[in-house]
Chain A
Amino acid sequence: MGLFHKTADALGDKLNEKLAWDLDEAAVMADDAVAFSLAGFRPEDAERGGYSNYSYWRATLRAFFRNKTAVFFLALMGVTLLFTFIQPLLPNQKDPLLVHYGEWGLPLNNVPPNDEFWFGTNSIGQDLWSRIWAGTRTSLFIGFSVAVVEAVVGILAGVLWGYVRKLDFFFTELYNVLDNIPQTLLLILISYIMKPGVDTIIFALSLTGWLGMARFIRNQIIIIRDRDYNLASRCLGVPTGRIIFRNLLPYLVSVITMRMALAIPNAIGSEVFVTYIGIGLPVSIPSLGNLIQTGRSLMQMAVLRYQLIFPVAVLAVITISFYIIGNSFADAADPKNHVN
């Protein structure tokens, strides 16, 4: 809106200038019978009025990058993510599962951070530095998978629920039942029944994760489904799929991205939780959850506290970054905030 006003103002100024100039000329040519001359038709003038260089994504990005806190966390997260994936390719990295032995054949356990082991070693002599990055990879994989499932299933169910009137009753009842089951409970139950592993956790979290997204999309679609522009599209014979993808979903892009961004720290937190109560990932698969869990049991010994502090710090950086980026992006993607 603001942009439009600006263009209109600029146009108005030009017009005033031209008028003033015309008037001057009219004063000079006072003899003329007509005080106002015919402007005639100029194609460039005619086109200028209807033109705006507004682009949704450019405006979104501009609004996002104006938020300095968000940019800082974006950079921080970008570096962390990049490092997580290139870390195994760097020289002199150790295997996260390899137990290191000293010269007497004894395992180098609980070595405090030094030149050789940057973050020290754990109680059986594995390198904590490489375990933390391997764990971050596992946790991020869980987070991203859950977010993708949530987006795909949530959007699909939400669109069907909102757009197809016949399915409304079915989905509403399904939602009422599923939403009443506490997510922690389901998580515990599924992890208890199934074999602990990455896929179990992803499955348990995806089982109800899509509900919130589906409900939100359904409510929004019901609100905008029958607006005039959609009615017009329907009357013009636009296929339903096209209406959904071109008219409805772009409207919801900000919330979908925000929910995805928030689902990632949420999933990582849940993984930490199930590992904490003892039904999460086995120690052979390093994850932030079991690193924190082992670190926690050593918390009482001040010398070994580094085993808790390092994974907690990495976890905090990742979750806070995702949270702040998700929220700022949602704000930036709202066209109401594109006003300068």
Chain B
Amino acid sequence: MVKYILKRVLRASVTLLIIITILFSLLRLMPIEGYFENFDKVSSTEIQVKLNSLGLNDPLPKQLARFYGQLLHGDLGTSNIYRRGVSINTIIAEKIPISVKFGLISFALSLVMGLALGVWMAYSTRTRFRIGDKLGTVLIVVVQAVPSAVYHIVIQFMGSQYGGMPMLFAEDNPASYILPVLSLSIGSTAYYAMWLRRYMVDEANKDYVMLARAKGVSSGAISRRHVFRNAMVPLVQYIPGSILSTLMGSLYVESLYSIPGMGGLLVTAIKRQDNTLVQALVLIYAVVSILGLLFGDILMAVVDPRISLTKREGAR
């Protein structure tokens, strides 16, 4: 167990190192306009002076080394355009709580709704008309097939037009939380429901379930104690990732409802071409997703002792 976790952590840190290096090198290709507040008015000497002071004319390995040095000191640089001269740490510290608040509410909601829907669908495959299964499948197909841009817009439109909900987010208005949370949770609800149903149906067809049934264990107890618990193992892997990714917020939903969070920040940074901000956010994004995968694998090994790195190596 400890050996597995150590191996996994080591592997993740190597991956992280490689990815940060790749991303940093790619980001050197960014247009240099993004380092100046008003690029058109700056003379070419001033540009060179600024680039030199930022160290952008140094060779790539040197820049990389300095960047890692700053990173280890927790310094992500300062914003050039979005809020000039303000350190990115300050900006992010204001934004993260908002995104996390939205993210955690909708994560909890989608977990509860998704698991309930999944269990209901799996249960309904054994009933005569399979109504629950059919209804759930329609929801899943719609959510999967319609691009998220479209259903976010539809939810915002319907909710504000016919539901009387406020169209944009307002800090002090609790009703304005409803639509964004709904938008954020509907995708993962369908996702959890789809996989839980799949795994539960697979699990319910296994021999040990048949044995339990033959012994006379009630079907409620079989579902709760055997089928559901085993079916949850593969899903558990995604939970840490989902929680961690609330740090980054959602690109779509936050800018749709003008929520001042992290996702909206990345969109703004790109639109205003603030290079240092884009770079910092992109790196946080990468770190968050890799840590999410790492914690997911560890949690899965904790939940299910049969899993080991050697076994999973080929499959991942």
A residues sitting closer than 8 Å to B (CB atoms) are 172, 176-177, 180-182, 184-185, 188-189, 192-193, 219, 222, 265, 268-269, 272-273, 276-279, 292, 296, 299-300, 308, 312, 315-316, 319-320, 322-324
**A180–B316 CA distance with the chains assembled, in angstroms:** 11
Give the nearest-CB partner of B29 in chain A: A193
Q: Is the CB of A324 within 8 A of B141?
A: yes
**A319→B286 contact, CB < 8 A:** no
Query: B interface vs A, CB < 8 Å?
Result: 11, 15, 18-19, 22-23, 26-27, 29-31, 141-142, 144-150, 153-154, 156-157, 167, 251-252, 255, 266-267, 270-271, 278, 282, 285-286, 289-290, 293, 313-316
- A189 to B149 CA separation, bound complex (whole angstroms): 19
Do B266 and A176 touch (CB < 8 A)? Answer: no
Name the B residues within 8 Å of A176 (CB-CB).
Answer: 11, 15, 316
Assembly CA distance A292 to B267 (angstroms): 17
Q: Are A316 and B150 in contact (CB under 8 A)?
A: yes
* B153: chain A residues within 8 A (beta carbon): 292, 296, 299, 308, 312
Q: Does A299 lie within 8 Å of B145, measured CB to CB?
A: no
A172 to B31, CA, bound (A): 34
| B142 contact set on A, CB distance < 8 A | 320
Q: Which residue of A lies closest to B272 (CB)?
A: A278
Q: Is the interface of B mostly helix, strand, loop or mixed?
A: helix
Label chain A's interface by main secondary structure. Answer: helix
Using A219-B315, A278-B271, A296-B153 as known contacts, say yes or no to A189 and B282 having CB atoms under 8 A apart.
yes
Q: A188-B266, A277-B271 are in contact. Are A180 and B149 (CB under 8 A)?
A: no
Contact with B278, one of A192, A273, A278 (Cβ below 8 angstroms)? A192
A319: chain B residues within 8 A (beta carbon): 145-147
Contact B270 A188 (CB under 8 A): yes
B285→A182 contact, CB < 8 A = yes
Least CB distance from A173 to B in Å reads: 9
| Residue of A whose beta carbon sits closest to that of B273 | A192
Question: Cβ of A185 and Cβ of B282 under 8 Å apart?
Answer: yes
Verify B148–A269 contact, CB threshold 8 A: yes
Q: Which of A276, A316, A322, A324 counts the most chain B CB atoms within 10 A?
A: A276
Q: How far is the CB of B41 from chain A (nearest CB, A)?
A: 23
- 30 A-B pairs with CB atoms under 8 Å apart are A176-B11, A180-B19, A180-B286, A185-B282, A188-B270, A189-B26, A189-B27, A189-B282, A219-B314, A222-B314, A272-B149, A272-B150, A273-B147, A273-B251, A277-B266, A278-B270, A279-B270, A279-B271, A292-B150, A292-B153, A299-B153, A299-B157, A300-B167, A312-B154, A315-B150, A316-B146, A320-B145, A320-B146, A322-B145, A324-B145
Contacts of A292 in B (CB 8 A): 149-150, 153
Per CB-CB distance, the 4 closest pairs between chain A and chain B, nearest first, are A269-B147, A323-B145, A320-B145, A278-B271
Closest to B288 in A: A182
Q: Which residues of B contact A315 (CB under 8 A)?
A: 147, 150
Q: Contact between A177 and B18 (Cβ–Cβ < 8 Å)?
A: yes
Tell me which residues across on chain A come within 8 A of B30, comparing CB atoms: 192-193
Known: A272-B147, A273-B147, A299-B153. 16 other contacts (CB 8 A): A172-B314, A177-B15, A177-B19, A180-B15, A180-B293, A181-B23, A181-B286, A182-B289, A188-B282, A189-B23, A277-B271, A278-B267, A292-B150, A312-B153, A320-B146, A324-B141
